[in-house]
Amino acid sequence: MTHFVLDERLAGDSLPLGASELSLLRLMDNALVPWLILVPKVDCRELYELGPDDQTRLLAEINALSRFLHAEFAPDKLNVAAIGNLVPQLHIHLVARRRDDFCWPGVVWGRPEREPYTPAEAARIRALVAARLAPGFTAYGADV
Amino acid sequence: MTHFVLDERLAGDSLPLGASELSLLRLMDNALVPWLILVPKVDCRELYELGPDDQTRLLAEINALSRFLHAEFAPDKLNVAAIGNLVPQLHIHLVARRRDDFCWPGVVWGRPEREPYTPAEAARIRALVAARLAPGFTAYGADV
């Protein structure tokens, strides 16, 4: 775990939000839709390759993040997915979809539309993480 | 559970493969890519709404199906996703992706390409389910 390095493409496409014991929590840098990326700090590519304890932990984190998205963004549907065709490092997408969002009912993956967050918007979401996801997740300061 | 009815659109797009105590197992009727659909026989729309016992069971089923796809189809990457923008009934996609498949590295959802299975191909996959996924899943006979 100490030598875990976030994939460069994931790092470039997303902003740091926080971390748990198991995972990094990132915000896809696209204000068009609330889109979290959960990255377990493990060396495997597929969900089923995770050890049973890490699987249980990851499931609990997915539950917590799903409830968070549901409470804060009132989605019509959550999209939860492990894909990884472009970035093989294991990561879970959690996307809060709404019927009036930019590509409903299509999926967000592969869409070119992008609107980077303003610093104020990103800070607001980081503050929500700090307020709602502790103690499971520790939010990063706005300077990270 | 006794009154569970499979969503009409899911039923129309996929073929019956088998069932577990918790779920129906379907084969997306598209021979372009190995694509399973797992449908827990529950009345909820989101993964996090499942009770903890059903979540644990579903995770075990996803693991078993992932190993099955890995062993039988040698994918370069599995795509595992709960989306449901078009069909809100909770269902999990498990797709065995290969670098030479019809839409790599894009995702399969929303793509128009479709090649229905021949009865012989569908029977072959049902036989694989019967041979490899018992006793967790019971395969349907070819006449279902």
Residue B144 falls within a domain, yes or no?
no
Domain count, chain B: 1
Q: Token digits for B121?
A: 């191909």
3-class DSSP string for chain B = CCCCCCCHHHHHHEEEEEECCCEEEEEECCCCCCEEEEEECCCCCCHHHCCHHHHHHHHHHHHHHHHHHHHHHCCCEEEEEECCCCCCCCCEEEEEECCCCCCCCCCCCCCCCCCCCCHHHHHHHHHHHHHHCCCCCEECCCCC
Rounded Cα–Cα distance for residues B20 and B18 (Å): 7
Residue B59 falls within a domain, yes or no?
yes
Rounded Cα–Cα distance for residues B11 and B9 (Å): 5
Q: What pLDDT was estimated at residue B51?
A: 96
Q: What pLDDT was estimated at residue B83?
A: 98
Q: How far is CA A111 from CA A82, A93, B61, in A?
A: 17, 15, 31
Tell whether the model's pLDDT for residue B3 goes beyond 90.
no
**Which amino acid is present at A39?**
V
Residue A89 falls within a domain, yes or no?
yes
Q: How confident is the model at residue B2 (pLDDT cuts 50, 70, 90)?
A: low
Residue B39 falls within a domain, yes or no?
yes
What stretches in chain A show pLDDT beneath 70?
Answer: 1-2, 142-144
CATH of the domain at B37: 3.30.428.10
Q: How far is CA A126 from CA A17, A24, B48, in A?
A: 6, 13, 22
Q: How many residues appear in chain B?
A: 144
- Give phi and psi for B105, each to the nearest 5: -90, 10
Q: Which residues span the domain enclosing B61? A: 8-137
Work out the average pLDDT over B53-79: 98
CB-CB neighbors (< 8 A) of A35 in chain B: none
Interface of B with A in 60-89 (CB under 8 A): 62-63, 66-67, 70, 77-86, 88
Rounded Cα–Cα distance for residues B25 and B33 (Å): 16
Q: Token digits for A94?
A: 């959690």
Average pLDDT over chain B, rounded to whole?
A: 95
Q: How confident is the model at residue B143 (pLDDT cuts 50, 70, 90)?
A: very low
Residue B99 falls within a domain, yes or no?
yes
Residue B73 falls within a domain, yes or no?
yes
By Cβ distance, the residue of A78, A82, A85 closest to B80 is: A82
Q: What pLDDT was estimated at residue A2?
A: 59
Tell whether the model's pLDDT for residue B144 goes beyond 70.
no
Residue A139 falls within a domain, yes or no?
no
A87: distance to nearest CA of chain B, Å? Answer: 10
DSSP notation for chain A: -TT----HHHHHHEEEEEE-SSEEEEEES-TTS-EEEEEESSS-SSGGGS-HHHHHHHHHHHHHHHHHHHHHH--SEEEEEE--SS--S--EEEEEE-TTSTTTTS-STT-----PPPHHHHHHHHHHHHHHSTTTSEEPPTT-
Cβ distance A85 to B70 less than 8 Å, yes or no, reads no
Residue A54 falls within a domain, yes or no?
yes
pTM of the prediction?
Answer: 0.95
Q: What pLDDT was estimated at residue A140?
A: 86
Which residue, among A9, A46, A94, would best test binding to B if mutated, counting the most B CBs under 10 Å from its CB? A46
Q: What pLDDT was estimated at residue B68?
A: 98
